[in-house]
Amino acid sequence: MTAITLDGVKTASDIKAELRGRIAALRSHGVVPGLATLLVGNDPGSETYVAGKHRDCAEVGIGSLRIDLPGSATSADVRAAIKDLNNSREVTGYIIQLPLPVGHNENAMLELIDPSKDADGLHPTNLGRLVLGIEGELRSPLPCTPAGIVELLRRYDVPIVGKKVVVVGRGLTVGRPLGLLFTRKGLDATVTLTHSRTVDLAGEVRRADIVVAAVGVPHLIQADWIKPGAAVLDVGITRVQDPLTGKGRLTGDVHPDVASVAGHLSPNPRGVGPMTRAMLLSNVVKAAEQSLLA
Ligand SMILES: Nc1nc2c(c(=O)[nH]1)N[C@@H](CN(C=O)c1ccc(C(=O)N[C@@H](CCC(=O)O)C(=O)O)cc1)CN2
């Protein structure tokens, strides 16, 4: 058996095509959705992701603004940039690219974002709304990677209700909010959130109908950990240098042999990463649509 590929590139492209129509409708009402990014330092991964976000915006017709601070920026510099973004009339939504360089308190910086401009759903107010399960008028943006994972499963008709989900990794951008999202009414999965101190990780993963690996440990998840037919989403990514060519290479958390056991598998790269970007665009468009209703 070879797993069906959960193709993030194709699905993200479908979503972008859908968003283009909604953006055109917004523009016809005089609303131009916009996104700003705040990047501190020159982490190569973060630079790639931020550049990708601006390319996506241009592709679908969202305005974008890039604020880059050097690695030497102090926490006061970052706070000042956040204050400017909060006060700017032109910027309706923005993100702080994570991780911030060592020495900056990420949670403290996220807390300074105006929650109504939080395009990433990572401000405590928006995470709190996720905890409270608030829907409807007050609907807040969902963190992009968890939203992308659920959207990818939905678009491939992978059943979620009543299924056992094991999430490997409890980080802020993926594991923690994903557990909340999967257990929301309507999705109704049973979630086990595992981490570095979990006893018998392989045993936990073996019970799962859906496995999400988001730790950044190359090939941690082995084929004999997977229940035959399970859906496996490979999220964690590690940049490794090929000792022969010296070139950088991306390696996911899931061993390639998993493809012969799983029912569905999101590759890495080209799986959840592009979905993360598509969900950011979707958050920006939804916020603009809500501003029209307000
Ligand atoms: N403020 C945020 N910071 C971070 C988030 C986030 O959602 N908000 N998530 C990740 C990084 N990320 C988005 O910012 C992200 C990760 C991966 C991709 C992606 O398209 N990856 C490609 C591979 C590209 C490459 O690395 O060369 C793929 O998987 O095919 C996009 C965005 C942490 N920080």
Average pLDDT per run of 10 along the chain, which is 294 residues long?
96 98 96 96 96 98 97 98 95 96 98 96 96 75 97 98 98 97 96 98 98 98 98 96 86 98 98 98 94 84
Residue 242: predicted pLDDT: 81
Angstrom distance (rounded) from CA 124 to CA 78: 18
**Residue 270 Cβ < 6 Å to ligand 1:** yes
Q: Which residue's alpha carbon is at the smallest distance from atom 7 of ligand 1?
A: 144
| One-letter amino acid of 218 | P
Angstrom distance (rounded) from CA 60 to CA 24: 9
Write the burial class of residue 169 (CB in 10 Å: 0-12 exposed, 13-18 middle, 19+ buried): buried
- Collapsing DSSP to helix, strand or coil, 100 comes out as coil
**Residue 56 Cβ < 6 Å to ligand 1:** no
**Residue 274 Cβ < 6 Å to ligand 1:** yes
- Collapsing DSSP to helix, strand or coil, 27 comes out as helix
Angstrom distance (rounded) from CA 262 to CA 250: 21
Q: Residue 167: left if φ>0, alpha if ψ -120 to 50, beta else—which one?
A: beta
170 assigned binding-site residue: yes
- Collapsing DSSP to helix, strand or coil, 127 comes out as helix
271 assigned binding-site residue: no
Residue 71: predicted pLDDT: 97
Q: Which residue's alpha carbon is at the smallest distance from atom 9 of ligand 1?
A: 173
Check for a shared fold between 30-115 and 143-273. Answer: yes
Angstrom distance (rounded) from CA 269 to CA 4: 16
Q: Where are the domains of the chain?
A: 30-115, 143-273
Report, as residue numbers or ranges, the catalytic residues: 53, 97, 120
Q: Which residue's alpha carbon is at the smallest distance from atom 17 of ligand 1?
A: 273
Residue 136: predicted pLDDT: 57
Which atom of ligand 1 lies at the shortest distance from residue 143's CA? 7
Which atom of ligand 1 lies at the shortest distance from residue 50's CA? 14
* Ligand 1 centre distance from Cα of residue 29 (Å): 32
Residue 138: predicted pLDDT: 59
At 213, list the tokens: 């690996």
Q: Which residue's alpha carbon is at the smallest distance from atom 31 of ligand 1?
A: 273
Which atom of ligand 1 lies at the shortest distance from residue 145's CA? 7
At 107, list the tokens: 């949670």
**Residue 283 Cβ < 6 Å to ligand 1:** no
Please name the residue that has the structure tokens 């601070």.
Answer: 69
Q: Which CATH code is given to the segment(s) 143-273?
A: 3.40.50.720
Residue 20: predicted pLDDT: 97
155 assigned binding-site residue: no
Residue 246: predicted pLDDT: 86
Residue 1: predicted pLDDT: 77
**For a pocket test of ligand 1, which of 49, 50, 237 has the largest count of ligand atoms closer than 8 A to its C-beta?**
49
CATH superfamily of this structure's domain 30-115? Leucine Dehydrogenase, chain A, domain 1 (3.40.50.10860)
